[in-house]
Chains A and B, each alone.
Chain A
């Protein structure tokens, strides 16, 4: 009898009144910390393949700003990605930025920037182009390629080449009188 009463009292003592999201960092114990980013691996002995990290990242927003939490919106505003979906930001691949990007990883597309033609210098700013796949193209020398000029001239001045007017006329006549 007394045991049962005690049990009921214990139930009252244990009671938790709030019902809400639990603190993730207190609840999940199997996280690995990588300088501000806490990653919870699929299996405890999981090992990722080795990579050579890029120096810069191209970040573009792919989800609307609306409906996100205030901390996610703040990170996007700080990266100046809050206005246009076509805008992109170039961020340094440093722990501080990785920590911020990890929090908005479901809202942005992150592409590492590579330099297939070498890294640009101060003089190359006018002829550097960043592609969407992260390739930063640097044209080191601006000069006219004589071979290409010659090829264009040859094509335009070719007397055996049919001009478009003749082609259209010929095609129409064939259409009107096929047999």
Chain B
């Protein structure tokens, strides 16, 4: 822009010696964003997870039940961003396989600028065993053998964080891209978005003038709803199915 103006000015001087009006106005360039508060991480890229957890040699890998409660309900602990910058949160419950974690690691490692940015995991390596019976097998004969391991994730859980000297617009593209590929509903967020979402939820709760909220109806057994509501509704009143 500036160059073009200079060119015009030079041209004016060169071809029309009478013209001496300046065509360049006063400009304001905003100061660059201050990233002094950003602490650099030890390693910029995500580390690789083990596909199978390592057990001591005398311990047989234990099999486990499905344990749906590990992915049902809201996440109460890992639901905030440690670096207060950007990340991916799960908006529904589900299970991450090793392949999903690899997809996240490789794509983010490839797309981000490692000189300025970093990424950290907020989930564990796959630890919950999932058993399967072989194809074409008749039923019976005990529980199948362990097929793979998964990481159960609840709604609201932060899966990974991206930070460093970067803006949300820089990371949004690839974070949304990988979030869409996860086996549950997930979204790319920044700290401002999380604060906004929380404030919006509180506002909606406060300004709701409907007397018959799900909580009120279920707690007071209105319309005999105790006959058909699920045990999950008793706890979270229609959310987190």
Contact = CB atoms under 8 A, between A and B. Distances in A.
B54 A39 contact: no
B67 A42 contact: no
B32 interface: no
A136 interface: no
Contacts of A69: 227
A21 B234 contact: yes
A8 B127 contact: yes
B99 interface: no
Interface string B190-226: 0000000000000000000001010010011111101
Given A1-B54, A4-B53, A106 B234 contact: no
A166 interface: no
A40 B234 contact: no
B235 interface: yes
A159 B65 CA distance: 96
Interface residues of B, number: 23
A40 B216 contact: yes
Contact of A106 (B213, B216, B221, B231): B221
A27 B231 contact: no
Most chain A C-beta atoms within 10 Å of own C-beta, residue among B54, B219, B234:
B219
Contacts of A8: 62, 127
B53 A22 contact: no
Interface residues of A, number: 26
Contacts of A41: 216
Given A4-B53, A28-B219, A42 B235 contact: no
Interface string A1-33: 100110110010001100111101001100100
Contacts of A105: 222
Nearest to A16: B69
A98 interface: no
Nearest to B219: A40
B67 A15 contact: yes
Contacts of A42: 211, 213, 216
A21 B231 contact: yes
B222 A106 contact: yes
Contacts of B227: 69
Contacts of A20: 231
A107 interface: yes
A39 B231 contact: no
A16 B86 CA distance: 36
Interface in B53-112: 53-55, 62, 65, 67, 69
* Centre residue among B211, B221, B224, B227 by max chain A CB count within 10 A: B224
Interface in B113-143: 124, 127
Contacts of B216: 40-42
A105 B54 CA distance: 58
B231 A22 contact: yes
Nearest to A8: B127
A90 B224 CA distance: 23
A22 B235 contact: yes
Contact of B234 (A1, A11, A24, A107): A24
Contacts of A107: 224
Contacts of B221: 106
A68 B55 CA distance: 53
A104 to B, nearest CB: 9
A5 B58 CA distance: 13
B20 to A, nearest CB: 73
5 tightest A-B CB contacts, nearest first: A40-B219, A106-B224, A42-B216, A106-B223, A22-B234
13 contacts: A5-B55, A16-B69, A19-B231, A22-B235, A24-B219, A27-B235, A40-B219, A69-B227, A72-B224, A105-B222, A106-B221, A106-B223, A106-B224
